């Protein structure tokens, strides 16, 4: 099978409420570092801790939960400049995955203790153990009412069971709560100001912290900024749909110029167009997928949607297109079970931050508009982004909104010019709300620092150590 599910972190929606809980409302907890559970961290210098925090920061005196921390210590205590709190996004469980990220973060330990945390309810943090929910990509295979109604029913049933399993945490998984956890971590570490590195969804946590605790920020680096600013679902996904179109154009030109492409010297996008037109007349045969199996335009679009945004998938996708052009589309055959995007507990958190409360008619209207922006595959972005929230009854406790924090020091933001998961417009919009901050573009995809971009790494290290920012308009090469 050609494809696997793509991890896309980001989106946007409505308006925010709430303010920070005063620091005096709770006393600072103590951190007790110990060996980490599991084999991955055994024999390493990484140590873990569980920090007790309120289940609901609106009522800090009520029930408690824990947030898992993992510490990768500074290489030389004499050169140590403090702690750097890190969340790398995805499902928010950075502490759990820190052992596998040691090499990627090693340079930072020249100056900092790297402190990773698992967002509340996820990873090693206590609280939530939900079954995997329905695969929302089913909505992308069929736009019919029967499929929609079935998914709404199944997703509501999953939401009810997950909320029951989560107990009091269920309604307290948004980034407003996470930002207060970050402040509790800062205080427990004894740091006078927070230095933070947020990547992808971790930038949503960073934005919330900057809004709620601006005076406590020492340094803040936000990489691959998820757009938690735009209130309109259409505006939020339009940039991503356009980014898919840009990637499709680059994929096509790559095949024209690079002999590594199985379609060289043809333009891959033109080949895809031809196959889609052919499949619209009669589905393409896929004999290796089973007797009588075929590939229709829906499967061709999904293959493109899952493959084109990631350059590492281009060679294999091109091979599949070449094989289909020769009469065998088996490598392009897909079913909903082949694209595993079942909703997990982070779906509750996502829908708290990025709600989608519209019905099928509203989704169809958004897709109609997106087709005008990117008619090939990018218009599928609406259901990829918001499908997990369709039918859920409890959404939007901390929805997208603009911010205007007072007393916030300059922030460094970086966006990859080839990033389709969190397009550069997200970084540009947020940077415009943070006076004095620097927004850097890099010839890169998603997660620029983790990709090893030397120019970006040097800028980040200098900023975190000294606060120095690059000049406006700075662009880092690949």
Q: What is the pLDDT of residues 152-209, one digit of tens each?
A: 999 999 999 999 989 999 999 999 999 999 999 999 999 999 999 999 999 999 999 9
Average pLDDT rounded to a whole number, residues 444-455: 97
Average pLDDT rounded to a whole number, residues 92-96: 89
pLDDT grade, residue 10 (50/70/90)?
A: very low
Asked whether the bond before 265 is cis by omega within 30 degrees of 0, the reply is yes
Per cent of the chain over pLDDT 90 is 83
Query: pLDDT for 320-336, tens place per residue?
Result: 999 999 999 999 999 88
Q: What is the pTM assigned to this prediction?
A: 0.92
pLDDT above 80: residue 22: no
Q: Which pLDDT score, from 0 to 100, does residue 23 have?
A: 52
Nearest one of 422, 466, 428 to 446, comparing CA atoms: 422
In the predicted model, what is the mean pLDDT of the chain?
92
Domains and CATH numbers, the chain: 23-129+168-231+402-476 (3.40.50.1820)
How far apart, in whole angstroms, are the C-alpha atoms of residue 136 and residue 156? 12
pLDDT above 50: residue 436: yes
pLDDT above 70: residue 15: no
DSSP E strand stretches across 210-299 = 217-223, 284-285, 294-295
Average pLDDT rounded to a whole number, residues 441-451: 97
Nearest one of 165, 112, 104, 155 to 133, comparing CA atoms: 155
How far apart, in whole angstroms, are the C-alpha atoms of residue 51 and residue 326? 59
- For 6-10, 289-293, 432-436, which range has the lowest pLDDT when averaged over its residues? 6-10
How far apart, in whole angstroms, are the C-alpha atoms of residue 162 and residue 230? 28
Nearest one of 392, 391, 441 to 412, comparing CA atoms: 441
């Amino acid at each position: 099978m050609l494809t696997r599910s793509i991890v896309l972190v980001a989106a946007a929606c409505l308006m925010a409420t709430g303010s920070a809980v005063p620091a005096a409302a709770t006393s600072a907890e103590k951190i007790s570092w110990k060996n980490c559970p599991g084999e991955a961290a055994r024999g390493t210098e990484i140590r873990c801790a569980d920090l007790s925090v309120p289940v609901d920061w609106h009522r800090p005196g009520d029930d408690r939960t824990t947030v898992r921390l993992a510490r990768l210590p500074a290489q030389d205590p004499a050169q140590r400049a403090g702690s750097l709190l890190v969340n790398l996004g995805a499902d928010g469980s950075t502490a759990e995955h820190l052992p596998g990220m040691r090499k990627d973060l090693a340079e930072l330990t020249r100056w900092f203790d790297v402190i990773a945390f698992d967002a509340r309810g996820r990873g090693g943090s206590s609280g939530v153990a939900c079954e995997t929910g329905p695969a929302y990509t089913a909505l992308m295979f069929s736009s019919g009412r029967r499929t929609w109604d079935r998914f709404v029913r199944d997703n509501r049933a999953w939401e009810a069971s997950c909320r029951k399993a989560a107990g009091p945490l269920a309604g307290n998984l948004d980034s407003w709560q996470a930002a207060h956890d970050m402040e509790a971590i800062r205080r427990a570490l004894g740091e006078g100001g927070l230095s933070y590195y947020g990547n992808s969804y971790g930038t949503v946590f960073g934005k919330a912290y900057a809004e709620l605790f601006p005076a406590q920020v020492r340094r803040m680096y936000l990489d691959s900024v998820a757009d938690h600013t735009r209130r309109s679902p259409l505006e939020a996904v339009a940039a991503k749909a356009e980014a898919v179109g840009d990637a499709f154009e680059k994929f096509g030109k790559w095949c024209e110029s690079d002999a590594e492409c199985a379609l060289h010297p043809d333009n891959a996008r033109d080949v895809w167009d031809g196959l889609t037109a052919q499949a619209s007349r009669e589905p393409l045969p896929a004999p290796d997928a089973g007797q009588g199996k075929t590939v229709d335009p829906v499967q061709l679009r999904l293959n493109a949607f899952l493959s084109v945004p990631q350059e590492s998938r281009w060679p294999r996708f091109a091979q599949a297109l070449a094989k289909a052009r020769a009469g065998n589309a088996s490598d392009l055959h897909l079913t909903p079970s082949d694209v595993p995007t079942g909703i997990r507990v982070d779906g509750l958190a996502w829908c708290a931050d990025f709600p989608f409360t519209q019905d099928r008619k509203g989704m169809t209207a958004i897709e109609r508009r997106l087709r005008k922006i990117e008619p090939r595959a990018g218009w599928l972005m609406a259901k990829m982004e918001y499908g997990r929230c369709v039918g859920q009854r409890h959404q939007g406790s901390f929805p997208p909104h603009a911010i205007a924090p007072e007393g916030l020091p300059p922030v460094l933001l970086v966006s990859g010019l080839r990033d389709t998961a969190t397009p550069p417009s997200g970084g540009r919009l947020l940077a415009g709300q943070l006076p004095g901050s620097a927004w850097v573009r890099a010839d890169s995809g998603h997660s620029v620092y983790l990709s090893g971009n030397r120019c970006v790494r040097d800028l980040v290290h200098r900023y975190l150590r000294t606060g120095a920012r690059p000049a406006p308009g700075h662009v880092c090469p690949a």
